Every structure is written in structure tokens, then in C-alpha cells.
Amino acid sequence: MITPSRMLYERFQRMLWMKDPERLRLPLRWILWMLRLVYVVVRDLVDGELALRAMSLVYTTLLSFVPLLAFSFSVLKAFGAHGFLQPILLRFLEPMGQMGVQLAGQIMQFVDRMKVGVLGAVGLAFLLYTVVSLLQKIEAAFNHVWQVRRLRPLAGLFSNYLRITLTGTVLVFSALGITASIMNTRLVRYLVGIEPFGTLILSTSKLLPYLLVSLAFTFIYVFFPNTRVQVRAAAVGGFLAGVLWQTTVWVFAGFIASSARYTAIYSGFAIVILLLIWLYLNWMVLLVGAKVAFYVQHPHYMARVPVRMELSNRMRERLVLHVMHRIGLAHFGQRAPLTLDDLAEEIGVPVGPVTQVVDALLDEGFLVEVCGREIAYLPARELETIRVRDLLHAVRSHNESGYLNRDMIRPRPEVDRVVEGLEAAWDRQLDGMTLRDLVAAAEGEVQGREVPAS
């Protein structure tokens, strides 16, 4: 029996997904886009994967928070910016009220007392491991959102971390300092007394925390995922995450103000429990903003049914030809080798499926990696020697030896004849066709050869 609530939900689904946004006027089109965005993000939250990753990050944060702060303190001290660290920590723990101030003081004491000479080799190794583990888990969480399978090498990971630590910290506090200086100038004090300038200036000063937090989130979304993130998408995700974070601050601060009974029940454990909740909320906000940025950059994934990264056999075959075709074109035209992000952008799919196909081509010896600022790819041999038939066979049979293969299946002549006939038809259709032919057809050098549909 269909309940009224179920009928209402089905009607909402039809309204949300049956309408073509292109046929709507601009205001309605934006409203429909926002409703779809909220729906898919909430659906992903209910799915539970983001919550699991947020909880994992909370656990790793508890282990590595002090070592990470000590490392950040050392880096910022080298640039004379170490005085920024404690205000950031106090700002982060501000919603916890007086307990946050107490906790920030204790953490800074731990950081000040941390000396490499006292720790010894084993202690130092453990602290470095916790820092690296946290950074890798953060990147892995972002990569999951962006459907990327590969982690950066450690050098690239630390490079991005230093960039975020230095640029983000200095940027935020420079903006705060500049704002404070501007607000204290004689001209601004004069304009505050004149309407509507006074209201405008006061409103801008109240919006400044949102803008700065949104800017920090945007910075993280651009640089942390191991893929190329559009600034526009990161800015939308950063803005929504900033608003959500500020809202979470208010709600959590109100919860702390009315939680005296929890302190009485849990006594000294209350501060630990509240810290766990606050860390979890922060990681969830960060990941939700990343999800928003992903859907803004890849709107075709914003569908009624979740679009999974798994590739069908047909899509895998089609994608391998597109990947090799793009790489062959770049090589033939003597252009710079293409990276995973370049390939994903040119083909129009997320980087995850492209990574699957490129890994198969690397394993089968059709591509080689070129190390530079980013890893790029070149054909492993001359285009004339790479047969299209071999490319399709390679991606179809990749890792077959490690899984169920045809030798394990009991033979049946009538079935085997059908399969062998299909493979023979493939061979006849693709007889003699090479990657060079595909590239030349695109360049207009070969006429009359029809490129078969994959």
C-alpha cells in the first residue's frame, strides 16, 4: 500500500527530474538547479560514505593535531608568521566557549613543549607518520568526492600543504588587518555617520567573516584534490561551505551555552566529547562543500539515480579509444603531453574513469609516463605500430589473469562458436587499422576510411 507521504515524495521526484531546465525561464531554472543540488547532496549524506570519512578524519585528527600544529608552527616561524597560529586555534574553538579557550591553551602548551631532541628517533617517526596520515586521509576524502583513485606523491602532498598553510594563513590575517585598518581611518568613521553608507559599511563588516571563511574553503578545494578543480566550482562550494560553517558555529555555540547538565553528567570528559562533535561537524562541512564543488563542475552527475564511477564494457572500450586518440593527436601535433586532468577535460568526464583506462594502458604497455610538474602520458611506441584491435583487446582483458578467465569455464561448443564469431568479426572490421589512422582521420589526412563505432 502506497502511503500519502510516499505519493508526495514521488510527486516531488517527478517535478524535480522530469522538467527540462532549458525550457524554463532563468529564475525558475536557477531554483530548479538549486533544488536538484540540495537533493543530490542530501542523498549523498544519507548514503553514509561522507559520514564514515568524516569520522575517520576525526580519529586521525586526535592523533595528529598537536604534531601538525607543531609542524605548522615551525613552518610559520621560519617566515615570521608563527604569531598567527594561536588566534586561528582560538577562532576555531570559539564555539566551545570557555572550554575552547582552556583547550586552546593546553594545546599550545603541548606545541611549545614539543622538542625533537627529547622525542628520539621512534617518537619523531611516529609524529611524522601521524602528520602524513592526516594529510593523506584529507586528500583521500577529497579524491573520493572527485572520483579520483590516485594519491599524490608525498612531495606533492607536502608542497600543497605548505602552500595552504602559508598562503591561507597570511591571506586571512592580512585581510583582517587591512579591514581593521580601513575601519579605523578618518574617512570611514566619517562615512559611517552618513546614510546609506553607514548601513552599507556595517553590513559589509558583518559579512566579512563569511567571505574570509569562504575564501579559505575555496583555497582548500582548489589545491587539495588530486585533480584540476575549476575556480568557479571551488568558489561556489567554498561559499556554501562558509555559510554552512558559520551557521554551524552559531548552532553549536548555542548548544554549548545550554549544555551545563552535560558537563555535570560527564564531568571532565565533557570537553573531550564536545571536541569530538565539533571536529566531526567541521569535517562534514568541508566534505559537503567539496561535494557541491564537484556537482558544479560536473553537472551531468547531478542525476535522479546516483552516477557511479564503474564503467560498463562498452564504455570502457569507447573511453580507451578516446584516450589514445587524444594522446596520439597531441603527440602527432608535437604538443605538450596530456595529463589525466587534460584528458578528462577534453573528453568531458571526471578524472576517475579516465584513470582506470590509463592504468590499464600503462599495464599493457601502450602508454608511458612522463614526469614533470604533473605526470603526463605519451604513446609507448610509434602510432603506426599500435593497432586499434589490440587496444580494445587490452582494455577488455585487463587483469583477466588475476580474476575469472575463460580457461576456468567448462567449454560448450555452441557458446564458443558464438564468442569466436564475434571476435572474428571484430578482427575483420578492424583489420590493419592503427592509431595513426585515427589520428590522421582527425587531421584530415586520410579520406575514405570510416572509423568504426566503438
What pLDDT sits at residue 438?
86
What pLDDT sits at residue 180?
54
Within a domain: 336: yes
58 and 177 both lie in a single domain: yes
184 and 52 both lie in a single domain: yes
Q: pLDDT band at 177, cuts 50/70/90?
A: low
Within a domain: 126: yes
334 and 268 both lie in a single domain: no
What pLDDT sits at residue 454?
45
Span of 114-123, 189-198, 234-243, 325-334 with lowest mean pLDDT? 114-123
pLDDT at 369 over 90: no
Tell me the average pLDDT across 117-127. Answer: 62
296 and 154 both lie in a single domain: yes
Within a domain: 453: no
Distance CA 414, CA 394 (A): 26
**Selection from 383, 381, 372 nearest residue 338 by Cα:** 372
Within a domain: 6: no
Distance CA 190, CA 192 (A): 6
Which residues sit opposite 376 in a β-bridge? 339, 370
Q: How far is CA 323 from CA 72, 249, 298, 378, in A?
A: 41, 46, 19, 11
Span of 95-109, 155-169, 287-301 with lowest mean pLDDT? 155-169
What pLDDT sits at residue 184?
62
Contacts of 262 (CB under 8 A, 6+ apart): 270, 273, 274
| Percentage, residues of the chain above pLDDT 70 | 70
Q: What's the CATH number where 344 sits?
A: 1.10.10.10
pLDDT at 446 over 50: no
Distance CA 54, CA 63 (A): 15
What pLDDT sits at residue 281?
93
What pLDDT sits at residue 100?
74
- Sign for the CA dihedral angle at 298, 218, 60, 256 comes to negative
Span of 72-86, 93-107, 139-153, 274-288 with lowest mean pLDDT? 72-86
Is-contact 439 321, C-beta < 8 A?
no
Distance CA 20, CA 155 (A): 46
Residue with the larger pLDDT of the pair 45 and 152: 45
Distance CA 454, CA 447 (A): 19
22 and 56 both lie in a single domain: no
Torsions phi, psi for 377 (to 5 deg): -135, 140
Among the ranges 111-115, 174-178, 342-346, 404-408, which has the highest mean pLDDT value?
A: 342-346
197 and 343 both lie in a single domain: no
Final residue of a structural domain among 274, 301, 328: 301
246 and 110 both lie in a single domain: yes
Span of 92-96, 174-178, 279-283 with lowest mean pLDDT? 174-178
Q: How far is CA 200 from CA 151, 188, 207, 427, in A?
A: 45, 11, 11, 72
pLDDT at 268 over 80: no
pLDDT at 439 over 60: yes
CA angle in degrees (0–180, nearest 5) for 81-87-88:
85
Tell me the average pLDDT across 47-59. Answer: 89
Within a domain: 399: yes
Q: Are strands 376-379 and 367-370 parallel, antiparallel or unpaired?
A: antiparallel
> Global pTM?
0.70
Domain range for 40: 11-46
Q: How far is CA 4 from CA 1, 16, 46, 304, 421, in A?
A: 10, 18, 22, 21, 54
What's the number of domains the chain is made of? 3
Within a domain: 451: no
Q: Is 135 exposed, middle or buried (0-12, 13-18, 19+ CB in 10 A)?
A: buried
30 and 76 both lie in a single domain: no
89 and 61 both lie in a single domain: yes
Tell me the average pLDDT across 14-29. Answer: 73
Final residue of a structural domain among 249, 277, 301: 301
34 and 60 both lie in a single domain: no
Distance CA 69, CA 185 (A): 35
23 and 105 both lie in a single domain: no
Distance CA 30, CA 42 (A): 18
144 and 235 both lie in a single domain: yes
